[in-house]
Amino acid sequence: MKDIIEKIKDMAKKEINEASNIKVLEELRVKYLGKKGEITQKLKELSAVSAEFKPILGKLLNDVKRDIEELLAFQMETVRNLAMKEELEREKIDITIPGKRHVVGARHPLNIITNEIVRVFSSMGFSVVAGPEIEWEKYNFDMLNMPKNHPARDESDTFFISDELALRTQTSSVQARYMETHKPPIRIVSPGRVYRIDEIDATHSPMFHQIEGLIVEQGINMGHLKHTLDAFAKAFYGNETKTRFRPHHFQFTEPSAEMDMSCFNCGGAGCRVCKNEGWIELLGCGMVHPKVLDMCGINANEYTGFAFGMGLDRAAMQKFAINNLKLFFENDVRFLKQF
Amino acid sequence: MLLSWDWLRDFVDIKCNDIKGFCEAMTMSGSKVESFEVLGQEIQNVVVGKIIKIKKHPDAEKLVICTVDIGAEEPLQIVTGATNVFESAVVPVACHNARLPGGVKIKKTKLRGVQSDGMLCSLKELGLQLCDFPYAQEDGILILKEDVHVGEDILTALKLKDIVIDFEITSNRPDCLSVLGLAREAAATYNIAIKEPMFNVKQFEDVKGKLDIKEVSEVLCKRYMLHEISDVQVSYSPLWLRARLKAVGIRPVNNIVDITNYVMIELGQPMHAFDADKVEGAICVRRAH
């Protein structure tokens, strides 16, 4: 019996020393010290041993049991430390590795221009409103005094979605929408995308950007129009900018004008930018046609107003000396990050 | 809308010392000028000449030596390879130091050992097309049949000098889509008188029975007028008329087509000439579909 106990002890020591993880050690504890473990079994067998050997064997068994317990505890500690060390090793952070740079986007030149223009008009008390890009014919044409046979309504110029729906051809559609639901005084600007059927080239695109402005109040006249737009040009292009108003024609304003500004490149002397004219066409404007006011439910005898519309793409091209419109829509980061 | 300065001056008496000023004044009074082009600038030192004598080149089978009178004291001696020249022919002569369209310079030179003081010009060398001079031979020297004077600058002789102004006419001003319409604008801009065209219409006999009109849609056409002109000789138009049409971008065809175009551009009245022999039945004015 003594030999057997010694054997168990050696075996247990060997197995415990070789055990490399907690799970195996736990199994070994059960195997030797558990309720049906080998040592426990031997302790139970003691009752059958003669009284002469009982104390000796009992002591031996208890010593072995204690040895195994201690060894198990020690090995458990060792394995735990080892595991901890490994885990720490795995999770170690090398703070000397250079960081990965995130590609940061830049503001699109068209957004820069739009924001700047909006900022100028905001300071004059205009609020910004938006309108849908898919628009009813009613708002895009009818309520802007566009006769049914007007060439701008032609299918070759307008992207029609159905008989009554089209991609808006001008931000002016926002005017009609806003006037229909708001009472004067009205003072709004509305930037956005507009669509017209066109071939894409360096200066044309079927999708481009406009900003629309509208004032409707009592006693608004052409003088207010000229002052407001002249002040805008000076705020946007610099104080030395001069403006001139040329008679023009739009269906939804009467009288209508186009505003030119003195060339920002040559100051009016004539250069390549202004095609030697000294002037650059900036925007279209005019006094809101009484018919348009009436159609929107505003009494044209009581209220007057002026409206203006400006193309943003060409303004941005001129401001940033960009020679190809297509660059705006390619979203090449190398292009965008220059602004 | 292209406007010929020469044509405009039929109706208003404006001096041409400041074309840029004119364009600006018109723009600010409501007729926006997009651009203007001075015609004939590419041609310099080309005059009308008359071939007095032609003799064979001693050293070249395909060349001839022409003695050309250009109204100067001494006639020029010009060597040419053209085959359509003849004695007494009136031709454009590019003299020494002449300039031609495309940046071509002409200088005195020797051709196979014979002095040549200049060059006789073809249509193409003057930047012209066959429709501008329908009687010309396309690949030969331009033999002039116009009433021109020897020694005259070719620009004035062939009416190649003009200024063409391109107007942007807005859709509310279709009345400006004619020379007369723009003349009214110019007269108003400068506060000067306009010479309205005089119409001397004699009473014509009724054409009914030869050509007839039926079914004119009043919605599309408020008035439709038709008249028959007989004993017409179809030929090319006179030089001044061809020159004006060419200046405003219309290709001269023949005197019948050209006069309808000319009147349309001048007065803004669209018109069309039919060949009465080819018209069957009466004329309808209605939608095509």
Euclidean distance between CA atoms A97 and A146, whole angstroms: 66
Euclidean distance between CA atoms A131 and A309, whole angstroms: 15
Which pLDDT value is given to residue A93? 83
Least confident residue range of A43-57, A132-146, A162-176, A218-232: A43-57
Euclidean distance between CA atoms A241 and A264, whole angstroms: 7
| CATH of the domain spanning B213-285 | 3.50.40.10
Residues of A whose CB is below 8 A from B35: 275
Which pLDDT value is given to residue B199? 84
Euclidean distance between CA atoms B6 and A51, whole angstroms: 148
Least confident residue range of A143-152, B24-33, B141-150, B160-169: A143-152
CATH 2.40.50.140 location in chain B: 44-157
C-beta atoms of B28 and A244 within 8 A? yes
Instruction: Evaluate if residue A36 carries a pLDDT over 90.
Output: no
A204's tokens: 């044309």
What average pLDDT does this structure show over A79-93? 86
Which pLDDT value is given to residue B243? 94
Length of chain B counted residue by residue: 289
Confidence at B263, pLDDT banded by 50, 70, 90:
very high
Q: Hey, what CATH topology would domain B6-40+161-190 get? A: Phenylalanyl-tRNA Synthetase; Chain B, domain 1 (3.30.56)
Three-state SS string across chain A, please?
CHHHHHHHHHHHHHHHHHCCCHHHHHHHHHHHHCCCCHHHHHHHHHHHCCCCCHHHHHHHHHHHHHHHHHHHHHHHHHHHHHHHHHHHHHCCCCCCCCCCCCCCCCCCHHHHHHHHHHHHHHHCCCEECCCCCEEEHHHHCHHHCCCCCCHHHCCCCCCECCCCEEECCCCCHHHHHHHHHCCCCEEEEEEEEEECCCCCCCCCCCEEEEEEEEEEECCCCHHHHHHHHHHHHHHHHCCCCCEEEEEEEECCEEEEEEEEEECCCCCCCCCCCCCCCCEEEEEEEEEECHHHHHHCCCCCCCCEEEEEEEEHHHHHHHHCCCCCCCHHHHCCHHHHCCC
Q: With pLDDT > 70 as the criterion, what percentage of chain A qualifies?
A: 100
Instruction: Evaluate if residue B208 carries a pLDDT over 70.
Output: no
B257's tokens: 């087509």
Instruction: Evaluate if residue A236 carries a pLDDT over 70.
Output: yes
What average pLDDT does this structure show over A60-67? 84
Instruction: Evaluate if residue B220 carries a pLDDT over 90.
Output: no
B265's tokens: 């551009």
Euclidean distance between CA atoms A258 and A284, whole angstroms: 4
Residues of A whose CB is below 8 A from B32: 246, 248, 258
Instruction: Evaluate if residue B49 carries a pLDDT over 70.
Output: yes
Instruction: Evaluate if residue B289 carries a pLDDT over 90.
Output: no
Query: Is A248 part of the contact surface with chain B (CB cutoff 8 Å)?
Result: yes
CATH 3.50.40.10 location in chain B: 213-285
Which pLDDT value is given to residue B206? 66
Cβ neighbours of residue A135 under 8 Å, at least 6 residues apart? A165, A166, A167, A168, A173
Residues of A whose CB is below 8 A from B23: none
Instruction: Evaluate if residue A152 carries a pLDDT over 80.
Output: no
CATH 3.30.56.10 location in chain B: 6-40+161-190
| Residue pLDDT, tens place only, A9-21 | 888 888 888 888 8
Instruction: Evaluate if residue B209 carries a pLDDT over 60.
Output: no
Q: How far is A257 from chain B (nearest CA, A)?
A: 9
| CATH of the domain spanning B44-157 | 2.40.50.140
B172 closest CB neighbour out of A151, A249, A258: A249
Helical (H) or strand (E) element with B5: helix B5-8
C-beta atoms of A249 and B29 within 8 A? no
What average pLDDT does this structure show over A301-313? 94
Residue of A nearest to B25 (CA): A246
* Phi (first) and psi of residue A317, to 5 degrees: -60, -45
> Is residue A291 a contact partner of residue A145, using CB atoms and an 8 Å limit?
yes
Residue of B nearest to A257 (CA): B30
Which pLDDT value is given to residue B256? 94
Instruction: Evaluate if residue A103 carries a pLDDT over 80.
Output: no
Instruction: Evaluate if residue B99 carries a pLDDT over 70.
Output: yes
Which pLDDT value is given to residue A196? 92
Interface test with B, best of A246, A250, A253, A259 (most B CBs within 10 A): A246
Which pLDDT value is given to residue A178? 93
Q: Global pTM?
A: 0.74
Three-state DSSP class for residue B147: coil
What average pLDDT does this structure show over A299-324? 90
Q: How far is A220 from chain B (nearest CA, A)?
A: 23
What average pLDDT does this structure show over B56-78? 91
Euclidean distance between CA atoms A332 and A329, whole angstroms: 8
> Is residue B98 a contact partner of residue B45, using CB atoms and an 8 Å limit?
yes
Which pLDDT value is given to residue B106? 92
Instruction: Evaluate if residue B269 carries a pLDDT over 80.
Output: yes
Which pLDDT value is given to residue A126? 94
Instruction: Evaluate if residue A228 carries a pLDDT over 90.
Output: yes
What number of CA atoms fall less than 13 Å from residue A333's CA on the CB side? 4
A247 closest CB neighbour out of B30, B35, B171: B30
Confidence at B207, pLDDT banded by 50, 70, 90:
low
| Residue pLDDT, tens place only, A175-186 | 899 999 999 999
